[in-house]
Amino acid sequence: MRSFLRTLRAFSKPVFAQRRLQSLTPGSLSFAAARTMATSTAPVLKQPIKLACIQLASGKDKAANLARARDKVVEAARAGAKLIVLPECFNSPYGTNYFPQYAETLLPGPPSQSQSPSYHALSAMAAETKTFLVGGSIPEADPDPATNKYYNTSLVFGPDGALLASHRKVHLFDIDIPGKITFRESEVLFPGNKVTIVDLPDYGKIAVAICYDIRFPELATVAARRGAFALVYPGAFNLTTGPLHWRLQGQARAMDNQLYVALCSPARDTRASYHAYGHSLVVDPMAQVLVEAEDKETIVYWDLDGEKILETRRNIPLATQRRFDVYPDINEGKISFEEPNPPK
């Protein structure tokens, strides 16, 4: 009987595999993606990298905010961080009434010092510390005032001070929780239109998105399937959605995609009109929160290790278990990685 069962299993496994692949032709993207996921053992993080999330306290003085950011970036670099993240709207207060007042023109690029002091300050910080710097986000103004267009924009710089990438917030924060909070970024801001994946030479790729973007798992899934080792979200959750969903969203994106997730918030200022939740944190590929701040200004650090990603994916092999014969492959659809007139 045992011999018969072993023979039956030997015949049934190839039949099942053949049936799964019959719907995936060798020339299709699904077939290629499935084969790659099933066979690739290349690490997505080539060597360990120390990450720092700076939970910055910002006020109404832009110059003071930039100077404070520089001090904290230098502090993080001296502690050994090579990938440093600033929070959403680190150079200004957060709020729809502040966006136009603090907005800077990034186009045509590169902008002059007078056009964008924040661009030049971030570039200088990255070059001074020889680190990769995810510059939180800043309010960006369209160069044509007649358009009345503003964006919430993250700028990523390399160790030589050169701009590596930019991300305009794709999903605008429009919510209404009766008796708690109503906020509509779309009253002032326009959305970006792309997935942002950034290559960090000698390390690998990260994805950058901003705050409310984290609620849309499609961005994270595409980035993970394209080889990112970390998802980085500068964000400013509030005292309603923060306790409910901040940590949960970070863990969910890490669990779904089996990579690191970093959430970087401003410090909480109870005198401001918008109260940020704080609690900057780092989550590992097993969805464990590794380090988490409280609400005050601080820096949280963690050493990201590619072996943890590989170990997680070996132990729970989601990549080889996906069923694109049952549901569509999100990585195969129409995906935008570019948009007209990005900052340069």
Catalytic residues: 88, 169, 211
- The torsion of the CA quartet 171, 262, 217, 88, rounded to 10 degrees, works out to 0
Task: Give the separation between CA 163 and CA 132, rounded to whole angstroms.
Answer: 10
In sequence order, which ranges of the chain are alpha helices (DSSP H)? Answer: 2-22, 29-39, 62-78, 99-102, 117-129, 217-225, 241, 247-257, 306-315
Over the Cα atoms of the chain, what is R_g? 22
Q: For residue 343, is the peptide bond before it cis, meaning its omega torsion is within 30 degrees of 0?
A: no
206 within 8 A of 198, measured Cβ to Cβ: yes
3-state secondary structure of 282: strand
What is d(CA 31, CA 52) in angstroms, rounded to the nearest whole number? 38
CA 120 to chain CA centroid, nearest Å: 22
